[in-house]
Structure 1
Amino acid sequence: MHHTKLVSIVGMILLFFIGGCATTAEIHDPKDPWEGWNRKVQSFNDDLDDYVMKPVAKGYRWVMPGFADRAVSNFFSNIDDIGVTINDLLQGKVAQSGSDGARFLVNTTAGIGGLIDVGSMIDLPKHKEDFGQTLGVWGLSTGPYMVLPFFGPSSPRGVGGLVGDAVMNPITYMGGYVSTGLFALNATDLRADNLAMEKIADEAALDRYIFFRDAYLARRNYLVYDGNPPDEMDVLEFDEEEDGLGPVSPY
């Protein structure tokens, strides 16, 4: 099964990452004990982006008309709503699950397979729920910050979230070149949509690594707690009592 292979790949990446982290001696931040290793992986990811993803995304943006680009983004957003609806239920958000499920049905039918975002037109807004958030709602501590090769910023809990999201994504089960092609198209579309954000990050950041780490952790914290995260001191005290891994980050 294709999803079994994907889970195995993510598992191997995590084991490789943890093995490499064992060589990092100096700890700079309690929530980021593997900073030395993380910086090397981010550098690798940045080089991959500079030489592969960014040129492909720019070419994609150049050849794709605006309406077609929006249709592709809507298509993958619609597929994502399947996992969003499931995670709503797993988090006990029954009313929101009904809204997100209705959004998926409307966009799949009236929106021609999700190419048109009809849901937003009729007051069925897009929500962001993933399995990493669900694990956080269930009380699973995030663990230390890590940067995964290819995948980027994450955490031990985030890796579990990646696996859960893959299981909930129907593209995973299509197998072979179809799944690979669709995942590649989605990655390209996302990268193209975020080309403008890179300039903002470069201009705002004295240290790109710290900028992306802190932005990532803050965003996940916001998402897990639905915009009402606890005070930093409360988070620190909880984490020290529970697992000693430093301030809880909800990734």
Structure 2
Amino acid sequence: MARRTLSFILLASAIAVTGIVPRFSPAAANAAEIDFLSDDFYDYDDVSREAGDPLEPLNRVIFRFNDKMYIHVMEPVASVYAAAVPLDLRECIFNFFRNLEEPVRFLNALLQGRFGDSGEVLTRFLINSTLGIYGLGDAATRVFDVPPVEATLGETLAVWGVGDGAYLVVPFYGSSTIRDFTAVVGEGFGEPYYAWTDNYYYMGTVYAGKETNKLSMHLGEYEELKSVLFDPYVSFRNAYFQYRSKVRGQSRSVPDNAE
């Protein structure tokens, strides 16, 4: 019983460190050319055009809960981890897990009709699995100038006509929609470590370690971003839709109905 309880705690912790900061860090925002200080940002209406926010009162409560969890639990844990593990090693761990997930991206790119992107994902996987020494290094980017490609199940569902559903703020996770979070859960079952074992203790341990490692490379970004926002809830909501639209727009062959 104690072992099952520990497994549950580990899985909950894994979810907790997955998403609040890295997806909307200043680096991510800059990559998508999102200006949090512009007037146009606060006039952005994609939230009403794409999904709507009928659950805003509940979403705001969960947003505040996530904020406290990040500040008092997630970041302190990641800070201790960052102090103990050198950055170079953390980057290798990040690269290793990203490489393991490339087959899922390859499949999603194919299902979206993004054949050029799927070829790049496959190329990256082959290069990094060999020259990158099992994915520990990103030789595809550094040596062959083949940059990372994103292709998610949420985008695949959009291409195939599945609507957004309402905007959601998910406990321990952050901004999403009904469709996108359903896709996140579905993709979780495609993670490679689920094929290795059916032991929830090991699954939770590996997944929590992977996500803590990722978060450790974004320390301080959440506070830096939140400090300049008038209404963090509205800002993160708008950022979610703007970032998603920008990323999809950068995909060379996503069909028009992906939006």
Shorter-chain TM band? 0.7 to 0.9
Q: Distance in 2 between matches of 1:221 and 1:142?
A: 13
Question: Partner residue of 1:117?
Answer: 138
- 1:15-164 to structure 2, matched below 5 A, reads 30=48, 31-120=52-141, 121-164=143-186
User: What is the number of equivalent residue pairs in this alignment?
Assistant: 207
Kindly indicate whether the alpha-carbon contact (under 8 Å) linking 1:82 and 1:168 is maintained by their aligned counterparts in 2.
no
2:235 is aligned with 1:211 = yes
Q: Distance in 1 between matches of 2:172 and 2:195?
A: 21
Secondary structure of 2:250's match?
A: coil
**Post-superposition CA distance 1:173-193 (Å, at most 9, x none):** 333232211210122122212
- Decide whether aligned partners of structure 1 residues 180 and 75 sit closer, same or farther in structure 2, where only a CA change above 3 A counts: same
Displacement after TM superposition at 1:64 (Å): 1.1
Kindly indicate whether the alpha-carbon contact (under 8 Å) linking 2:129 and 2:135 is maintained by their aligned counterparts in 1.
yes
- Decide whether aligned partners of structure 1 residues 136 and 224 sit closer, same or farther in structure 2, where only a CA change above 3 A counts: farther
Q: Distance in 2 between matches of 1:90 and 1:146?
A: 25
Q: Distance in 2 between matches of 1:227 and 1:74?
A: 22
Q: Which amino acid aligns with 1:76?
A: F
Q: Distance in 1 between matches of 2:222 and 2:66?
A: 14
Judge which range, 197-206 or 211-220, deviates more.
197-206
Q: Distance in 2 between matches of 1:226 and 1:123?
A: 17
Kindly indicate whether the alpha-carbon contact (under 8 Å) linking 2:120 and 2:149 is maintained by their aligned counterparts in 1.
no
Q: Distance in 2 between matches of 1:76 and 1:39?
A: 32
Displacement after TM superposition at 1:44 (Å): 1.4
Q: Which amino acid aligns with 1:209?
A: Y
Unaligned runs of 5+ in 2: 1-7, 13-46
Q: Distance in 1 between matches of 2:153 and 2:116?
A: 18
Kindly indicate whether the alpha-carbon contact (under 8 Å) linking 1:133 and 1:223 is maintained by their aligned counterparts in 2.
no
| Cα-Cα RMSD | 2.5
Displacement after TM superposition at 1:163 (Å): 2.7
Identity among equivalent positions (%) equals: 32
Kindly indicate whether the alpha-carbon contact (under 8 Å) linking 2:101 and 2:192 is maintained by their aligned counterparts in 1.
no
Kindly indicate whether the alpha-carbon contact (under 8 Å) linking 2:78 and 2:216 is maintained by their aligned counterparts in 1.
yes
Question: Partner residue of 1:194?
Answer: 218
TM-score by length of 1: 0.75
Judge which range, 196-205 or 83-92, deviates more.
196-205
Judge which range, 34-43 or 74-83, deviates more.
74-83
Secondary structure of 1:150's match?
A: coil
TM-score by length of 2: 0.73
Secondary structure of 2:220's match?
A: helix
Displacement after TM superposition at 1:227 (Å): 6.0
Question: Partner residue of 1:166?
Answer: 188
Which structure would you say has the larger RCO, counting Cα contacts within 8 Å and 6 or more residues apart?
A: 2
**Post-superposition CA distance 1:84-139 (Å, at most 9, x none):** 11111111112221221121121112212111111112122101111011111222
Q: Distance in 2 between matches of 1:153 and 1:169?
A: 21
Q: Distance in 2 between matches of 1:192 and 1:109?
A: 27
Q: Distance in 1 between matches of 2:89 and 2:250?
A: 32
Q: Distance in 2 between matches of 1:72 and 1:172?
A: 18
Q: Distance in 2 between matches of 1:77 and 1:196?
A: 23
